[in-house]
Amino acid sequence: MFTGIIQGLGTLVEKRPAGGGMIFGLDADFALTDPQEGESIAVNGACLTARNIKGARFYVDVSPESLTRTGLGQLQTGHRVNLERALRLSDRLGGHLVSGHVDAQGRVEQRRATGDFTLFTFSLDPALTKYVVEKGSITINGVSLTVNACERGRFSVSIIPHTLSVTTLGGLKEGDRVNLEVDMIGKYVEKLLAEQSSGTAAENRINPAFLAQHGFL
């Protein structure tokens, strides 16, 4: 689990195919204090497992599914990426709850300066539009952002100078593709409501038996 608050940037220093997927070597520009072999690190918003951690360098295995769903496969050595280590229970939740499971890619349709801010408009798979709401949260290349406006197939965000300077979003150009993760809460609510409508009220009532069945008791 992540928050969408980027801790630093990484540089792709090695990229090679392996078992239908790829292996990336990455150098972080911040100290990986108390590194744990096998810990989760979000790379441009995609949750990956870090291994062979030595100093600021670590390696990740990128599965075929991740290559298909995200833009990681298009990265070349020397490219910079946004990095965030997994959330600890004692951490501040400065952004929103981010799973690191990218839903789809979007494309920069427009980039426009508005005073000190930069307004971006992104394309979005129309099927995901229902999960994007005005003033709600969305993750773009791992960065937690607030939605300014949305309509079917597109949405806009206004980004402050600090975020542009400390993440890779500052280098985005019109036509560039980005990794998108919509707010997971909407998907859970949709699933619960769908299950309730397909069963009887008694079957879907939240009671001690239901909580025990699903591991809460």
Q: At residue 197, what are phi and psi to the nearest 5 degrees?
A: -70, -20
Buried b / exposed e over 157-174, threshold 16 CB at 10 Å, is bbbeeebbeebbbeebee
The amino acid at residue 129 is: T
Length reported for the chain: 217
Please give the pLDDT value at position 193: 80
> In which domain, by residue range, is 144 found?
104-188
| 22 and 71 assigned to the same domain | yes
- pLDDT digit string (tens) for 152-172? 999 999 999 999 999 999 999
Q: What is the CATH number of the domain that holds 113?
A: 2.40.30.20
Q: Note whether residue 210 is domain-resident.
A: no
d(CA 45, CA 67): 13
pLDDT of 173 higher than 80:
yes
Cβ atoms of 57 and 109 closer than 8 Å: no
Count how many domains the chain has: 2
The reply to whether 69 falls in a domain is: yes
Hey, what are 21's tokens? Answer: 């997927």
pLDDT score at 206: 66
Cβ neighbour number for residue 59 with a 10 Å cutoff: 17
User: Could you say which of 85, 113, 142 is where a domain stops?
Assistant: 85
Q: Is residue 54 part of a domain?
A: yes
| Residues 56, 120 within the same domain | no
| Residue after which a domain boundary falls, among 31, 55, 85 | 85
In a domain, residue 129? The reply is yes
The pairing of strands 40-43 and 21-28 is: unpaired
Paired strand residues for 140: 143, 180
Domain closes at, from 37, 54, 85? 85
Residues 141 and 67 in one domain: no
- Residue 116 located in a structural domain: yes
Q: Tell me, yes or no, whether 213 lies in a domain.
A: no
pLDDT at 202 over 60: no
Q: Give the pLDDT confidence score for residue 199 in this predicted structure.
A: 60
Query: In this structure, are 58 and 117 located in the same domain?
Result: no
Question: Is residue 207 one of the residues assigned to a domain?
Answer: no
For residues 108 and 78, state if they share a domain: no
- Same domain membership, residue 182 and residue 108: yes
Question: Mean pLDDT score of the chain, rounded to an integer?
Answer: 92
For residues 129 and 151, the answer to whether their CB atoms sit within 8 Å is: yes
Q: Does the structure show a pLDDT above 60 at 204? A: no
Confidence check: pLDDT of 25 > 80: yes
Its pTM stands at: 0.87
pLDDT of residue 13: 98
Alpha helices, H only, 22-124: 64-69
146 and 114 co-located in one domain:
yes
Is pLDDT at 200 greater than 60 in this prediction?
no
